[in-house]
Amino acid sequence: MRTIDWAGGAVEIIDQTALPEELRVLRLSTVEEMVEAIRRLAVRGAPALGVAGALGVALAARQHSGDPDRRAAAVETVRTARPTAVNLARGADRAAGRLPDGPEAVLAEALRLRDEEIESSAAQARLGADLVVSLCGGRPVRVLTHCNTGALAAVTGGTALSVVAELHRRGALDEVIASETRPLLQGARLTAWELDGLGIPFRVAVDGAGAFLMSRGEVDVVLVGADRICANGDVVNKVGTLAHALGARHAGIPFLVVAPETTLDPTTPNGGAVEIEDRGDDEVLTFRGSRTAPPGSRAVNPAFDVTAAELVTAIVTDRRVITGAPVTGQGAGIAARG
């Protein structure tokens, strides 16, 4: 089943806020419904957001076909529904490029992006698994991963978790440590649900246990995804990723980032230039509706962090493995290391 698709004149998504308790499918028929689904993380993960952005523009093209001003405003609401994952704006922009050709052309472009992301996931799986096998000497590996980077974060397959699944298929996987990923528990809720469905052995760990497990020799490789990879190779991903990268460096194990080419952003020089979404106090100060901190407490809730290029062993895309010393300076990194 696809995480996001077009069916019968509307967008269908798996509602990721309902998992793992319920596999619920939502139909989104308007731009407003799409934007709301993106903001509350019913659809999430960089590649899935790219497709959501493109299909959101397809909805805008149908909804406001006779009113270019309202259509332009609707497109802008979609492309800025969340700020950090470059795929969202990029997917919206790609579909919007076909607006002059009419709603059917916009939809066709969005569906092309959907199909490309499916192919991309498969290619990342192959390249990533080849790299892990060569780095870890072919023995079954213990992987630590963060957030959710599986089919739920894409259309099918995923990024880092597609590599995990491919390693499992090859008999080259021992087990996965899924970092729970506070505050919204994409690891504990979504990654654990996907791994269970795939029959892959896993344990869930609190985010803070990652570095300790690595230092104790219980992890061979860290595999994560990305929401944006900057020109100098800095990786913006779910908050907690930086701590795992530092843990991996301390333990001397590879820290690998797996992402489609659509997540590479040569126009953003480095991680400091990226808008990091702050999702407000409630996600941190409450747990499933109950308050955990004393009344009056305030929170800081960056949804993403920046891992400096120098902490990344390699970036695996659908086309290449980017390795080597990070290159600093605007626009140089990704191209020079490709």
Ligand X SMILES: CSC[C@@H](O)[C@@H](O)C(=O)COP(=O)(O)O
Q: Which is nearer to ligand X, 107 or 184 (CB)?
A: 184
String of DSSP letters for 158-219: -SHHHHHHHHHHTT-EEEEEEE--TTTTIIIIIIHHHHHHHT--EEEE-GGGHHHHHHTT--
Q: Give whole-number Cα distances, 317 to 155, 163, 238, in Å.
A: 16, 11, 18
φ/ψ of 317, rounded to 5, equals -110, -170
Q: Give whole-number Cα distances, 134 to 141, 282, 312, in Å.
A: 11, 44, 17
Chosen residue from 45, 56, 157, 326 binding ligand X by CB under 6 A? 45
Q: Is the peptide bond before 201 cis (omega within 30 degrees of 0)?
A: no
DSSP 281: S
What is the C-alpha separation between 335 and 34, in angstroms, rounded?
Answer: 34
Half-sphere exposure of 170 (CA within 13 A, CB side): 20
Contact between 303 and ligand X (CB under 6 A)? yes
Contact between 90 and ligand X (CB under 6 A)? no
Chosen residue from 207, 227, 265, 318 binding ligand X by CB under 6 A? 227
- Known binder of ligand: residue 233? no
| Token representation of residue 305 | 């962090």
- Known binder of ligand: residue 27? no
Q: Interaction with ligand X in 159-198: which residues (CB under 6 A)?
A: 159, 186
Contact between 50 and ligand X (CB under 6 A)? no
Q: Cβ of residue 41: shortest distance to ligand X, in angstroms? A: 6
Chosen residue from 128, 225, 247, 333 binding ligand X by CB under 6 A? 225
Q: Cβ of residue 205: shortest distance to ligand X, in angstroms? A: 16
Which residue in the list 227, 234, 265, 318 is annotated as catalytic? 227
Helix (H, G, I), strand (E, B) or coil at 305: strand
Tell me the per-residue interface mask from 134 to 163 with ligand X, x by CB under 6 A, - otherwise: -------------x-x---xx---xx----
- Known binder of ligand: residue 289? no
Q: Cβ of residue 225: shortest distance to ligand X, in angstroms? A: 3
Q: Which is nearer to ligand X, 109 or 117 (CB)?
A: 117
- Known binder of ligand: residue 319? no
Q: Give whole-number Cα distances, 48 to 3, 62, 82, 157, 260, in Å.
A: 8, 21, 13, 11, 11
Sign of CA pseudo-dihedral 247, 150, 79, 51: positive
Chosen residue from 46, 230, 274, 306 binding ligand X by CB under 6 A? 46
Tell me the per-residue interface mask from 93 to 132 with ligand X, x by CB under 6 A, - otherwise: ----------------------------------------
Tell me the per-residue interface mask from 242 to 271 with ligand X, x by CB under 6 A, - otherwise: ------------------------------
Residue pair 99/109 in contact (Cβ under 8 Å)? The answer is: no
90-113 burial code (b ≥16 CB/10 A, e <16): bbbebbbebbeeebebbbebbbeb
Contact between 205 and ligand X (CB under 6 A)? no
Q: Which is nearer to ligand X, 303 or 309 (CB)?
A: 303
Q: Which is nearer to ligand X, 14 or 99 (CB)?
A: 14
Contact between 47 and ligand X (CB under 6 A)? yes
- Known binder of ligand: residue 44? yes
- Catalytic: 5? no
Residue whose token pair is 């497109």: 75
What is the C-alpha separation between 124 and 261, in angstroms, rounded?
Answer: 10
Catalytic residues: 227
**Residues of the shown chain interacting with ligand X in the complex, contacts defined by CB under 6 A:** 41, 44-47, 85, 147, 149, 153-154, 158-159, 186, 225-227, 237-238, 303
| Residues of the binding site | 44-46, 82, 186, 237-238
